[in-house]
A and B are shown apart, each in its own frame.
Chain A
Amino acid sequence: MVHDHTPHYQTKYSQRLNFYQAPPESTVKVEDVELWALERLQVLKSLESALIRFKTEDDIRQAVEPTLHQYLPLASNHNRRAPLAAERRKDHISHFVLRLAFSKTAESRAWFLRFETALFRLRFAATDFQERQTFIEGLPNFRLHLVSAARKEALAAELRAASSLAVTKSFDSEGFFEVDFEQVADLVQRRQVFLRAGKAYLPLSDQGVLVINEFKRRLEQGLQMAAKALNRMDEDDRLAPILDNLSSQQVSMEYQSKSTNGQITAADVDKEVHHFPPCMRHLQGTLAEQGHMRHSGRIQYGLFLKGIGVSIEEAMVYWRRAFRHLSDDKFQKEYAYNIRHMYGLEGKRTNYSPYSCNKIITSNHPGPGDNHGCPFRHFSKEQLVTSLQQQKLGEEDVGSITELSDQGHCQLACTRHFEITHRARLPTTGASIAVERIIHPNQYYDQSVALVTKE
């Protein structure tokens, strides 16, 4: 896959791994293109759900393996029997089609970037040393700056302290290289690398991180270019309907809340609490208790309320009453704007949608004094147990929930919570109860309401 500086097309596939620097020379049937892209999308989606559920690389790999094997097998050069060229060509083409389809909005670009990088990481880890080395050496514009023995000696104590156990053990034989800290931002963020004067020092055995980051960086640029190309594309290009169809697949990944505006009044909100998922119960409870709530909590809770059908007028009344320590004047000045903003009446006038579990769990972690977030992720075990007990859950039920949350399965724990709190209303089929997995607080709410109205 070594190409010269300004490659036009990539047509040869001597390596299993691919940086997708150049588009494929395509003489493929349109139907195949669409099918392949959809299959790749399956892989990325299964990767997404594995990343939510599992923590270790091994677990993630195992979870994705069947899908990967079915849709996008990619054998190594050692494998004499696999149709190497065909597999790699499919990998290449499906990547480029999806890249184009997902380049449309900033959101879909971010999604694609995240999971393509995860896929590359998975494959890189599964590639043996020799093949990796050949691949890295063949990468254009990619060179490592090695640290001299004297420099390594001088920094030895700090290098050891910042290294993993494995590296500390083989420290004497380990070579180190030096890069700008920006190039290994993820390692810096996790404090897994030694820094001195703006340089990061990594053991050679960690060079994979750098390769993966480089993959990500170049793909990010590639997506920007794809977005421009998409703008210029002919309306009646044969690819256009396919791309539209593909990019619409991304939207369907988000839950659309059922309620429409204006059915729930400010006075009703507190009566609806028994339908709320734990995160929103907690916010509602804190607000009632303290008469105040910090910004991130207001957004998470406010958008949820909007999702269950609280109109902007009612929201104003609700929040005004809830912030009971404030004068009208102060409320108008400091909070009203914020609430109107959530309803798209101020600022950029975006019609914000309620946050999904995924967003609540993985972004904007609560800091000291914050109450937003997901109880299954952001509560200490003790707090979680206490709050479940306050909801009158029995010991056994509490145990079955925390067992899931302890393993990091927040949404499964929440689904279990739903089952337990709605047991009486759910149709039972033997011992197991069938409930849709909770992926969105508003879905929890809608499901709960639906059960009651069914009666």
Chain B
Amino acid sequence: MSLVTAMDVDTSIDVRSPEYPVLLRSFYDKIFPFTAYYDWLNGCQPTPTKLFQNREFSFTIGNDIYIRYQSFKDADALKAEFLRLCPGKIDIGAVYTTRPRDKKSVLPSAFQPTEKELVFDIDMTDYDEIRTCCQGGDICARCWKFMVVAMKIVHAALVEDFGFRHIMWVYSGRRGVHCWVSDERARRLTNEGRRAVVGYLEVIRGGASQERKVHLPAQLHPHLARSFGIIKEYFSELILIEQDVLRRSDGWAKVLKLFSDEDVRRELRAAWAEDDEQASLDRWDTLDSVLAKVANQRKNKKSGNLALTKRDIVFQYTYPRLDDKVSTAMNHLLKSPFCVHPKTGRVCVPIASDQFDEFDPLAVPTVHQLLAELQANPQQPGQTSLRPYLKIFQDFVAGIRRDQRTIKEGAQR
């Protein structure tokens, strides 16, 4: 039923072909932004610090060799290793008390994670139970809007509520987004602190056997009130028109289950079952009138609950779904920005926080495309179509540098 091309179709790459590592090598050699990358991970300090040297990198080589606990003394050593191994995937882990390379030679108690960016992972597969356009690894312009809503909501909370300033969103290369919060305070959060932030943001709770996943109090917490404002901007268009989640009976049956009120269920089932196929917008109107009718019969008794259930449904279908395991353990690995996704060939590029709506995942350059551009114009490696994304990254790193200076000047004064 999907009219939109799924993104795997024409861009798939054979990662096992002998050319692929060669391709990657030129990418790392000419295009990968090592300078800014190193500055970012070194906290913009003039010389290599523990922040960089004790940081775990891990590499996936070819298709199945996985090397953990790598670390490097400076930017040159890092680049040299990238060129030597041509890793298909690079993961970034925590900063440890000793160099990860020396892990084997020290006692476990001397090898403890001390800090890491606060990270989030939002993956489209967690939306499979609600989206109707694609499933699994596929995405299209329609379901991408779930990510847009998610980024807006999480970003607002991180900035306004938690006061974080150095936040980078990254396209995961295929079907989701990652978020890196690099403020010192975020990096220093304990696992407990990380759990607190995740719990604060989390609204969708429950597994496959729990239909109703949202139960919010009548009085919305300020974070939720703000989020609800964002959600309402998208709900009609995204859920009712584009995803059209109520059109078919398997879709509306799911919503029906979210009401515990027997009267509502009966009335709603009768009304919705009349038509085999009906636009979700119309079905939603029917829902409103059924709720009004039942509330009326009840007078004021408990009718408030019905409105709350409806509000919770709106949340359940639109609010971000976070993968909490990635965020709550400091030593968890997360794929590095500017990796190349092995399935799509797309580069994991940053997304500007003032352009969530404009970002188009399907327009992100692939490594093939970039290298072709480079071949056509070898004198100017900085001029490929990766350029706008490099700029976002450099601006992000510049923000960290600026803060760093202010702190130093403050200390000198």
Contact = CB atoms under 8 A, between A and B. Distances in A.
A140 interface: no
A191 B223 contact: yes
A380 B193 contact: no
B233 interface: no
A368 B185 CA distance: 30
Nearest to B159: A197
A162 B207 contact: no
Contacts of B163: 196-199
B320 to A, nearest CB: 11
Interface stretch (A19-27, A170-178, A182-190, A302-310): A182-190
Interface string B176-218: 0000000001000110110111111000111111111100000
Choose among A364, A367, A370 the residue with the greatest number of B CB atoms under 10 Å from its CB: A367
Contact of A333 (B63, B127, B193, B224): B63
Given A189-B199, A189-B200, A333-B64, A369 B208 contact: yes
A277 interface: no
Interface in B209-265: 209-213, 219-225, 257
B321 interface: yes
A441 interface: no
A375 interface: yes
Contacts of A191: 199-200, 221, 223-224
A195 B161 contact: yes
Interface bracket on B: 35 or more
A380 B162 CA distance: 33
Contacts of B205: 365, 367
A330 to B, nearest CB: 10
Nearest to A183: B193
B409 interface: no
Contacts of A182: 189-190, 193, 196
Contacts of A83: none
A94 interface: no
B138 interface: no
A contact patch SS:
mixed
A112 interface: no
A368 B195 contact: no
A318 to B, nearest CB: 22
Contacts of A189: 195-196, 198-200
B285 interface: no
A217 B225 CA distance: 32
Given A161-B219, A369-B126, A369-B129, A188 B199 contact: yes
Interface string A141-162: 0000000000000000010011
B29 interface: no
Interface string B149-189: 00000000000111110000000000000000000010001
Nearest to A182: B193
Nearest to B226: A158
Most central of A161, A368, A380 by chain B CB within 10 Å = A368
B91 interface: no
B189 to A, nearest CB: 7
Interface string A37-54: 000000000000000000
Contacts of A369: 125-126, 128-129, 207-208
A333 B185 CA distance: 38
A194 B222 CA distance: 7
Contact of B207 (A185, A196, A197, A372): A372
Contacts of B210: 366, 378-380, 383
B324 interface: yes
Contacts of A190: 199
A266 B123 CA distance: 33
A196 B160 contact: yes
B323 interface: yes
A188 B190 CA distance: 14
A349 to B, nearest CB: 12
Nearest to B208: A371
A181 B206 CA distance: 26
Contact of A371 (B160, B209, B224, B323): B209
Given A196-B161, A382-B211, A185 B63 contact: no
A367 B219 CA distance: 25
A158 B222 contact: yes
A280 to B, nearest CB: 14
A378 B207 CA distance: 7
A338 to B, nearest CB: 12
A410 B190 CA distance: 31
A354 interface: no
B196 A373 contact: no
Interface of A: 158, 161-162, 181-182, 185-186, 188-191, 194-199, 282, 286, 333, 364-373, 375, 378-380, 382-383, 387
21 contacts: A161-B225, A162-B221, A182-B189, A185-B192, A189-B196, A189-B198, A195-B161, A196-B160, A333-B63, A333-B64, A366-B206, A366-B207, A366-B209, A367-B323, A368-B206, A368-B208, A370-B208, A371-B207, A378-B209, A380-B206, A387-B209
Which are the 3 A-B pairs with shortest beta-carbon distances?
Answer: A366-B207, A198-B163, A189-B199
Given A182-B190, A194-B222, A197-B162, 16 more contacts: A181-B162, A182-B196, A185-B196, A194-B221, A195-B162, A195-B200, A196-B161, A198-B164, A282-B209, A333-B64, A365-B205, A368-B128, A368-B207, A375-B209, A379-B210, A387-B209
